[in-house]
Amino acid sequence: MAKKRKQPDAIEAWVEYQDQKFDRGYWAGRVSPFWPGKRPNTAGYYLLAAGIFSVAALLLAMLASAAVSGTLQLDWSGMLAIGFFGGSGALSIASGVAVLRKPRRGNRTDG
């Protein structure tokens, strides 16, 4: 008689997911085994890119303003641009770093 090979955890989770997919209430409070994973969270990279782009747009706007007028004038529109682009850029960069530094939880199928 041949020994039955033990299936890897991912295959067992997939078989359980397929068997219980349409049972009412079985997945209530549980996450599908394939949503969370031990892969890196790519949202952090998107947040970093958005923050860097926002800060670069702020610096480019300030340089263009200084090139046109000869000096950097900070009227209400300049202060608004610094507040918006600088604030959103700093927040995006800080959020991206926090998301990338936080370890991602592994597979949780038992709620």
Domain contains 34: no
Domain contains 32: no
Domain contains 30: no
Domain contains 20: no
Give the pLDDT mean for 37-45: 73
Render pLDDT for 51-104 as a digit per residue (tens, 0 to 9).
999 999 888 888 888 888 787 777 787 788 788 888 999 999 999 888 888 765
Domain contains 7: no
Q: What is the pTM of this model?
A: 0.54
CA distance 15 to 1: 24
CA distance 62 to 54: 12
Count of domains forming the chain: 1
Domain contains 82: yes
Written as six digits, the tokens of 74 are 């900070």
Output the average pLDDT for the chain: 78
Alpha helix positions (H), 2-110: 9-20, 43-69, 76-81, 87-101
Domain contains 91: yes
Q: Kindly list the distances between the CA atom of residue 49 and the CA atoms of 76, 78, 97, in Å, as whole numbers in the listed order.
A: 27, 23, 11
**Could you tell me if 109 and 57 are in contact, meaning their C-beta atoms sit under 8 angstroms apart?**
no
CA distance 1 to 85: 70
Domain contains 33: no
**Could you tell me if 50 and 92 are in contact, meaning their C-beta atoms sit under 8 angstroms apart?**
yes
Q: Could you list the residue range(s) of the whole structural domain that residue 68 is in? A: 39-101
Percentage above 70 pLDDT, the chain: 72
**Bigger pLDDT: 48 vs 34:** 48
Whether the pLDDT of residue 109 is over 90: the answer is no
